[in-house]
Amino acid sequence: MTPAAFIEKKSRYETTWRWWVLGTLFLATFLNYFDRQTLGTAIEPISKEFGLNNIQRGNLLAAFIFAYAFTHLLVGFVVDRIRNIRVFFPWMVLGWSASTILVGFARTYNALLWLRYLLGVWEAVNFPICLMVISRIFPAKERSLASGIFASGAFLATLAAPPVVIFLSNRFNWRYSFVVAGCLGLFWVVPWLCIFRRPEDRSENWGKYSLVRVAATESGKRNPSGIIGSLASIVKIPSFWGVALIGLGIIPSLYFATQWFPSFFTQSLGHPYNQALARKLSVIYLMQDVGLWVGGMVVLWLSQKGFSILRARKTVITVAYTVMVVSILAVTRIHSIHACVILLSLYVFGIGAFLGNQHAFKQDVDKKQVATVAALVGFIETGFTAFVIKGIGIITNQTADFTPVFFLLAGLATFAIFIVYFFMKPKWLDIQ
């Protein structure tokens, strides 16, 4: 295509096309999280049917995260080099949808456990693919907002799951919720195939940052063809470790919110497992979505006011951290259900604002290997989180108290904010 033709196409299509693509990424992420969230929301009736204690609950909730983490070791390398993302991505979505449907037919605890492992394998591709696509079709100043919008699909799913899952569990059986959740994936394939077409014609950065194309014209220069060379080039970048260590501090809070909040309300606050609980959880998870959107919009607004993008992100992250820690520590002193709903809403708002900017940082480590960076970070942060989620089951089973968990999460968030200021420096980031 000639430069003139490219400019004409860009002026005609790109401005709106990238946002339509973002919509499909948002929907894929919604499905990704709705499927994984179903177990955390249905854990009460599942535990009653199979006679599970909190240690077994923790093992079941952590199974997905362990598989999800270890699959990240390879999935980013594959995604950065896949020639046809348009076809590859739908197969992964259909895979995790089938795994979710099969949970509805599981008859033993071990069957549930292995299906959760399988779900983790299929779902591991979502975030690397989404971040890679965003990095190639959005300019730097829009990436925090775009990252927040696509990631908010995850938290829209967490607020949609409680009323749907609890209704189906109480009205029919918990198994129906998994069948319904899994079937939703079938409807996503059509809009993705219709919208995500010819990205190389609609974004000049698609070919510029594609390892498949670059490898044909360049050898070496941080475009290693082998997996060992690829990993070695990334782990030498200080900002990679910064993003990964931030994840160690923030991702356990995310998974605690999505996997353990229902148990906290039923066990610590004595709330019945009913639609009233579903409404409270939906309000809380809505604030997580709001945090993602607001965090990204504030970064965009500050950058337009003259802030550097890095300074704008750090400003938002600092405010988000303060909201998180103050609210989660306050929960340890409060026993009112309604007060806890307010405080936990503030807590997840902070998680959302913090997380959207961490996703944006992942795209600034190595522009040609965004999916590999995201996957490696995912392996480190979710691998650690799996042990935390499993440990929460042990702690609460032994103490019947969530207070130590809240202090642990506040400490991890404090570690994350320290890493932001120590590692996230202009010389170690490629923000453009």
Is the model's pLDDT at 9 over the cut of 80?
Answer: no
Burial 339-358 (b: 16+ CB within 10 A, else e): ebbbbbbbbbbbbbbbbbbb
By mean pLDDT, which of 81-95, 174-188, 253-267 is the weakest? 81-95
Determine the average pLDDT of the residues in 226-248: 83
Confidence of residue 155 (pLDDT cuts 50, 70, 90): confident
11 domain-assigned: no
Determine the average pLDDT of the residues in 244-266: 91
Confidence of residue 71 (pLDDT cuts 50, 70, 90): confident
- Out of 11-25, 251-265, 314-328, 417-431, the most confident range is 314-328
212 domain-assigned: no
Confidence of residue 217 (pLDDT cuts 50, 70, 90): very low
pLDDT at residue 215, as a whole number: 45
Provide the residue count of the chain. 432
| Average model confidence (pLDDT) across the chain | 84
223 domain-assigned: no
- Domain residues for the domain of 306 are 18-196+238-422
pLDDT at residue 203, as a whole number: 62
8 domain-assigned: no
pLDDT at residue 220, as a whole number: 47
215 domain-assigned: no
pLDDT tens digits, one per residue of 261-320: 988 999 999 999 998 998 999 899 889 888 988 988 898 899 888 888 889 999 999 999
pLDDT tens digits, one per residue of 31-49: 998 988 888 888 889 999 9
Q: Report the C-alpha gap between 131 and 150 in whole angstroms.
A: 9
Q: Report CA 297 to chain centroid distance, whole Å.
A: 19
- State the total domains in the chain: 1
224 domain-assigned: no
288 domain-assigned: yes
Is the model's pLDDT at 216 over the cut of 50?
Answer: no
198 SS3 class: coil
Q: Report the C-alpha gap between 286 and 301 in whole angstroms.
A: 22
5 domain-assigned: no
Is 282 within 8 Å of 159 (Cβ atoms)?
yes
Q: Report the C-alpha gap between 419 and 238 in whole angstroms.
A: 11
Is the model's pLDDT at 21 over the cut of 60?
Answer: yes
pLDDT at residue 219, as a whole number: 46
Confidence of residue 222 (pLDDT cuts 50, 70, 90): very low
Which position has the token pair 């900017």? 357
Task: Write the CATH number for 418.
Answer: 1.20.1250.20
Which has more confidence, 358 or 318?
A: 318
How would you write 210-237 as a 3-class SS string?
Answer: CHHHHHHHCCCCCCCCCHHHHHHHHHCC
Determine the average pLDDT of the residues in 380-391: 90
